[in-house]
Structure 1
Amino acid sequence: MLKIVKNATKYLPNQAIISDGKSYTFQELLHYSEQFASLLLENASDLNETRVAFMVSPGFDYVSVQWGIWRAGGVAVPLCITYPLPSLQYVIEDTDAQIVIAGEEYASILAPLAAEKGFRFILLKNIDSNEINLKKLPNLLSERRAMILYTSGTTNLPKGVVTTHENIEAQISTLVKSWHWSAQDHILCVLPLHHVHGIINVILCALWSGATVEFLPSYSAEGVFSAFQKGEINVFMAVPTIYFKLIAYWESLPIDQQKQISETLSKFRLMVSGSAALPVSVMEKWKNISSHTLLERYGMTEIGMGISNPYNEERKAGYIGKPLSGVKVRLVDENNQVVKRGQAGEIQIKGKNVFLEYWNKPEATQKTFTDDGWFKTGDIAVVEKGYYRILGRDSIDIIKSGGYKISALEIEEILRTHPIINDCSVVGIPNEEWGELVAAVLIVNDNGLDLKELNTWMREKMPAYKTPRQYKIIEELPRNAMGKVTKNDLKKFF
């Protein structure tokens, strides 16, 4: 029996999920997922790692479908509910999914593709639970493939990241221990469910612990604060963009409502930020509103979470923290040699949390691991007083200009402290003389901005070689589903 399922049997009467105005117990989750597993199996005794893609809105149906796929021996392939058909088709075809499941609202998108490709297509609204005969479910080894999630694809076509049940269990159990999860916790899920942040950190950590996951029908800052004000939620995890929007909404409220919300937030046990770098300015504003120092952590599709600010000790603004229990971390130079203390290097990770392979891409898999089995993240960091600080992604955030390696994230942090700049992003643009030039895209408030004055201001804050040579002012930064700025799209402005 899978550990996540075994754990659920300890909490049968507990409230597991709240969605669409209904409450579901762990007993109901186990029952419905068993029914769904039986439906998937038909006449087979085991799906034997058949890929099963599913496009289901966040909520009880999503979780029971995912668990049903696992319990039947299949590999779960969550589809992003906001992707256009070509992106969905890419994932379905790349994984060679033999079964595709859709919620009612996505039937019109996927039904024509099912007719064309001939895969088994299951519409949730057409399932009659009274007609399902429960089957004996397969006994699964933890080494088996469990899930395929797709990378953001910011630099090339997305790759399918394959995790086993053992990988997933390692990712969950590490966070449950490090972040002190318990059956008394109640978390609100506002994250997309085709990424580890929502699936692992929120849903599976909560359900592993016997806690409650609550879903909103649709995201809005007002809806999030309304859910908080009921007084039951005590854990919250989001991306920096969401915190930014919540802060803006809070600031628009009358003072008495602000005080009510702040009082509620101060009673929370834990608040976490991840999936993109957390601006120090956002962290400080949120602390003023909520009395909480957001716990920033570092992870990616291939490893789950690897590094985290501590739960009980100091949480340092601008730092991702220390290696999690059971996760080995090292920093290496371009020759794959471990760097000296205080020097910057690429983060490499080793542990049971690290993924198995890129789906059907043996060369890419081999390329991303060292000969001695370390996963190469491509992220550059430095350790300062025991805490890791991200300088950026080697291919995106490290700008190579005039012989210097410049961190785009460092420049962004300085720019955000300017009173007229609401947000920004820094990129390197190709240049014959310098290799790359530092360029900044800005979102400003209504007060206007003199770029010459800004340039003078920046040179007072940092060395001249780090200051942007070009600026563009735009209305909104392009972002992917997880709130990460898609920097390749920004380069087109220059």
Structure 2
Amino acid sequence: MGETVTAPASGNLYHLFESRFPADRTRRFLTLEDGPRQGVYYTYADIDAVSARFANVLVAMGVKPGDRVAVQVEKSAENVMLFLAVLRAGAVYLPLNTAYRRGEIAYFLEDAGPALVVCRPEDEAEMRELAAAAGVPQVATLGVAADGSLAEAGLEQPTTFATVPREKDDLAAILYTSGTTGRSKGAMMTHWNLGSNLLTLHDCWGFRPDDVLLHALPVFHTHGLFVGLGTVLLAGGSLLFLSRFDADAVLRLLPAATLMMGVPTFYTRLLAHPAFGRAQAATMRLFISGSAPLLADTHRAFQERTGHAILERYGMTEACMITSNPLEGDRIPGTVGFPLPGVELRVVGEDGAVLGPEETGVIEIRGPNLFKGYWNRPDKTAEEMRPDGFFITGDVGKVDARGYVHIVGRAKDLIISGGFNVYPKEVETVLDALPGVVESAVFGLPHPDLGEAVAAVVQKHPGQDGLTEAAVIAAVKAELAGFKVPKRVWFVPELPRNTMGKVQKALLRDTHRSTFAPPTPGSPAGA
């Protein structure tokens, strides 16, 4: 403890981070634990120097305060430094999932109108083509080996940079999310949306300077980028940085860590590892889960195996973190805890009336963490905001008599697979365009590893015997990111519909609900 905290120089999120850096800047911030640079580490002094180099490059390339910088690169230390450099330059960070394909990227570039897009070196030719079509003036590259044009240009730049002052209400990032219909929407997050939430999480989760976070999450969404990195920066702590989750690597590193954040899939895979137990978790003070519902059975099994009760929380792109189970107190399986300090949460019925304890309805929220709105979509912003400033999350839930929040479903027909959001309409659009397909219905099914698996039922034209499950999956895989591709596809003569003609997805979901269920004891494998 005992670190001196200075007041931030402005509302810029980087200034907030910098005000909490340890006095000893030689302290380690990030150590690479896999990949071509395994063993390389960065200190707090390196944060300042490397992000300054990158900020100088951004300015030299014409990036101005308020400009968007789109980034689709693999997870690396330089990726983190680029994020911080964008903040320092006063620009707006736009992370893109590394699994996005050509058509998806084209839309994001056209919609956001970035001044610069940074991609993997191997994607440069295609990205330049997409950037030219979208009117993006600059393209740079950044690789996992600290290579690429951005890294090379950075070596020629000074290690100092005067961080651009920003107001708390200025944009810091745009993260694309979506509903169940139409194109993705860019959620605009301000410096204070993020900063206020991170300060709250820092306190609620008891972060300390000696904390070591095992970081195996991606850094293109809220969980890994803001929550994982931001809380550690505010604590002056350190990161053990894995490019992706690998159970063997996690087991190797856990004895050197004090915290881990993960999606439920991380915990199911650890439980499936025969070597995982109390010994590996002995140094840990906290396991945190989010981005998808954690099954109560997983929570209980993990506690029995390790003695640790996973802390489950609830968040979303538009608000970062909303609720959390307590650090001290009962972490109840199947709940996401209490609203965070400063966050207001209510449950409303179909008539908009606020419901009481144990009554189920749609969750609405309000607080300093709530986004500024959707980029260039005032219509969608107005549609999802109440006049009193509450945001309609689309999640169905209740608050129990003790004040714990329960998420019981989603009003929006969203699938969360392995912690990633999948929007059925986007997958259905690809399926419906396939030769021989009349119409499709995409939905999520319970999955022991992913939480939910994407599945599809397809109505095909008569005589289309060549349209097989394998062919359909291959076709979707060519168009969309892998996590959006259906794990199973079934064919039917007609899709079931109600009297209004709407496809009855609930019926399809119930029909195939046990598809991915593990076999019950005593039943034949695969039964």
Alignment TM-score, normalising by the size of structure 2: 0.74
8 Å CA contact 2:56, 2:157 repeated in 1? yes
Are the structure 2 counterparts of residues 105 and 153 from structure 1 closer, same or farther at C-alpha, using a change threshold of 3 Å?
Answer: farther
Moved more, 187-196 or 134-143: 134-143
Give the equivalent residue in structure 1 for 2:140: 122
For 2:451 and 2:380, how far apart are their aligned partners in 1? Answer: 35
Instruction: Note the C-alpha offset of 1:432.
Output: 2.5
Q: Judging changes above 3 Å, is the alpha-carbon distance between structure 1 residues 446 and 90 closer, same or farther for their aligned structure 2 residues?
A: same
Give 2:405's aligned amino acid: Y
Task: Give the counterpart of 2:395 among 379, 389, 392.
Answer: 379
Aligned to 1:131: 156
Cα distance, 1:423 vs structure 2: 7.3
Asked if 1:196 corresponds to 2:214, the answer is no
The residue that corresponds to 1:68 in the other structure is: 85
Which residue pairs with 1:179 in the alignment?
A: 205
Length-normalised TM-score, structure 1: 0.79
Counterpart secondary structure, 2:103: helix
Could you tell which deviates more after superposition, 46-55 or 354-363? 46-55
Conserved? CA contact 2:180–2:413, under 8 Å? no
Report the Cα distance in structure 1 between the residues aligned to 2:285 and 2:127, rounded to whole angstroms.
41
The aligned runs of 1:63-142 (5 Å cut-off) are 63-116=80-133, 117-124=135-142, 125-126=148-149, 127-133=152-158, 134-142=160-168
Counterpart residue number, 1:241: 265
Paired letter, 1:38: N
Amino acid at match of 1:205: T
Q: What is the SS of the residue equivalent to 1:101?
A: strand
Cα offset, 1:131, TM superposition: 2.4
Contact 2:264 2:451 in 1 (8 A): no
Deviation, structure 1 residue 123: 2.3
The reply on whether 1:285 has 2:309 as its aligned counterpart is: no
Matched length:
425
User: What's the CA shift string for 1:214-235, capped at 9, x where partnerless?
Assistant: 222443211221222xx22110
Q: Secondary structure at the match of 1:335?
A: coil
Amino acid in the other structure paired with 2:385: F
**Aligned residues of 2:114 and 2:136 also touching (Cα < 8 A):** no
Q: 2:375 and 2:452 mapped to 1: Cα distance?
A: 35
Matches within 5 A, 1:259-298: 261-298=277-314
Q: Secondary structure at the match of 1:306?
A: strand
Gaps of 5+ in 2: 1-8, 10-14, 143-147, 416-443, 458-494
Percent of matched pairs sharing the same residue: 29
Q: How does 1:1-400 map to 2 (within 5 A)?
A: 1=9, 2-8=15-21, 10=23, 12-19=25-32, 20-21=37-38, 22-42=40-60, 47-116=64-133, 117-124=135-142, 125-126=148-149, 127-133=152-158, 134-151=160-177, 154-228=180-254, 231-248=255-272, 250=273, 253=274, 257-258=275-276, 261-384=277-400, 385-396=402-413
- CA distances 1:220-279 after superposition (whole Å, capped 9, x unpaired): 211221222xx221101111122112222x1xx3xxx44xx5212133111011111111
Given the superposition, is the C-alpha separation of residues 9 and 227 from structure 1 closer, same or farther in structure 2, using an over 3 Å criterion? closer
- Per-residue deviation at 1:449? 10
For residue 103 of structure 1, report the CA deviation from its aligned partner. Answer: 3.8
Determine which structure has the larger helix proportion and give its number: 1
Helix, strand or coil: the match of 1:265?
A: coil
Which 4+ stretches in 1 moved above 6 angstroms? Answer: 421-429, 447-450
Q: Deviations over 1:269-307 (max 9, x none)?
A: 110111111111111221122211111111100011111
| Contact 2:251-2:280 within 8 A present in 1 as well | no
2:179–2:414 Cα contact (<8 Å) kept: no
Inter-partner Cα distance in structure 1 for 2:329 and 2:264? 22
**Contact 1:171–1:200 (Cα < 8 Å) also in 2:** no
